[in-house]
Structure 1
Amino acid sequence: MRLTTKTNLAARVLMFCAVHKDETVRSSDIAQACNASSNHLAQVVHQLHLHGYVSTQRGRSGGLRLGRDMTEISIGQLFRIFESNVPFAECFSPRTNTCPLSDSCRLRQYIERALEAFYNELDAVTLADLVYGNCGLEAILSLSPPKIDACGQHTEA
């Protein structure tokens, strides 16, 4: 199984916003920190906005921020939204299925159960679980560079 780029970016955008929960952040800062193209990021931010995960503000001081509390954002639900248009296998898409085994194949039911178990596991994970106490993530997604003392050691900002 492999997640789409958009699903991966959606998680990155939300983690970035969560690390900067009291700020309005710019898409360009997210793109740079998350190694993402501005075009893909804009599409993802639009979808996140439509589903209420982020609120956006246009204009000179515009940007985006979380649209709901971190504890209310289920990673499983997020993944379902972004992966729903991508069939896991050919037989999962009635429109494009050409598999000659579809009528008799039992594999699909096992795959469906496995996918549901995957999403159920992620349903229990919130954005807060990914961000709270994750100092490494906070350092990577920081908008300001870390301060270095005369000995080359990182210091508190």
Structure 2
Amino acid sequence: MEQKNKSACSDVNSFNIHASGEDYLETILVLQNKLGMVRSVDVARHMEVTKPSVCHAVATLRDGGFLTMDEDHFLHLTDVGREVAEKIYERHCFFTEQLIAAGVDPEIAEVDACRIEHVISNESFERLKKAAFRNQENEISALSKAIKDKPTE
């Protein structure tokens, strides 16, 4: 039996989970933040998939230790499931924002971000985040300098 430790959790790609499973975890996280309690029907509606598809995914994710279902059929992310969902959601938001900032149509950016979030390595993602943050800091610094250097009338 393979054991997952904290260091393994730091890289989303280290889990044996498919992109579709990551999408379900991300959706459950988003819906929990929005609605509080989430059932399979909420996930099906949000993802525009069939209830049997959600039931199959829930069973797989439950067997993998990523979520639980209570007696009232509400879905709950486990600690590991929440960590994976948060990391996927962070990637999704980052890539969506970066693509929109680069001039990509928001709908296309959303679709492309959903693809990228699943395939990029943790190392590449972290380096891109740092580079984007450095660029943002440089822009703020240049703007601040321009404001300070602006002649007063």
Please give the TM-score of this superposition, normalised by the length of structure 1.
0.40
Q: Identify the structure with bigger relative contact order (alpha carbons < 8 Å, sequence gap 6+).
A: 1
User: Where is the helix percentage greater, Structure 1 or Structure 2?
Assistant: 2
